[in-house]
Structure 1
Amino acid sequence: MGQYLPEINGNLDNIVQDVKCDYDKYCKFAHLATFPDMAQEPVIELDSSGLINYMNKAARNILPEFKAGQAYNEDHPFFKGLSNIIDGLKNNSHNSTNRKLALNNIPFKQNIFYVPELDTVRIVTYDLTEEKQMLESAKENLERFQTLFNGIQDAIFVINPIPDLLNGRIIEVNDAASEMLNYSRFEFLQLKTEDLFSPTIPDFPYFQIKKR
């Protein structure tokens, strides 16, 4: 048996190197795998049979009733209509789409990707609560501005002075302007400034309103 020891020792060196190489690769993969798990957005991967391959921590938090290795359920609002979407992606040159949905009264946007090389589907979900609040706040501010704008008794014109003040466009007027000059808001917005105003000489850039 002694005559085989040198050969065994040589092979052991190779085996150790192979194991170390495999371990290094495993460590790299394990390191990369932490990135989606640390993401704040829920990330899910499904295989072609409808089983959940992967759920990151955020996905597990919003879908505690599901886990990797389990089939997704289209009765659940998170997965509703997903099979039709996946079929559409498989038969389309575009391998991604998005949609909005609500889960426990929280608005979400799903970005859905089909990966043909792996025949898998990846879903990245974004919480739209903050965006919805910003839109609602902007709407409230606009309504507040419109109330103040139309409550002023003087005629107000908002003009886009391009290419210049005389040839600009009227982009907004208040209610007082419509009442004073007998133009509807729609009619005002079809006009250029030169259609309605003429410069007073020598008081330019003050303007005199042309009579209708």
Structure 2
Amino acid sequence: MPHSFSQIVSLTCPQCGQDFSAEIWLIVDAGERPDLLARIREGALHNVTCPHCGRQEEADAPLLLLRPGVASPLLFSPAQQTTAEQDREQAIELLNMLRERMGADWRDEWLAQGLPAVPRPFLPAALSDDPEAALRQMAERAQQEIERLLAYRLYEPLPGEGGDIPAGTPMVCPVDPRHYRRRLQFQGQRLWCPEHKVALVPEEGIGG
């Protein structure tokens, strides 16, 4: 009996409203299914495509991964919209299923230190050849996205506000003018001090 296990589930497409079926893998033995391991590393194992409109999305399902030959061969990745109690119940259910499917090949000592769990967004990084480097790269990308969104908010033009201040005007933080200073890039732009969370004002109007 194969160790890996999947279920056919019924889904409803949020875009077209049509029902369809998809195969969702819940247990993967990386030794017998290296193709599924590759999809896990790509973060695509539970991706499904609606056959009616082509919309792609990720099915929210748990995953138990068996990696023969490593120090901790079992790894659990819970679904993303479940409670801690639901995660525990699903982990136990999948472990019992894998134990039954493996028969004499199952080893109780695999759970001697408990069952390691990895949140789904971090699973590809945890399975990479250099997990620490992959996690650092993920953190750097997340920080870059935060800075991008923050910069967009700080430099977002607000119609009707500051429209009489011409481009190029020096703007400063009213709390501490020496702390933060920027020039308007275009008329009508509104700038914010990222530390004091206040709108910048024309420098010429500060402190006489």
Q: What's the TM-score once normalised by structure 1's chain length?
A: 0.26
Q: What's the TM-score once normalised by structure 2's chain length?
A: 0.26
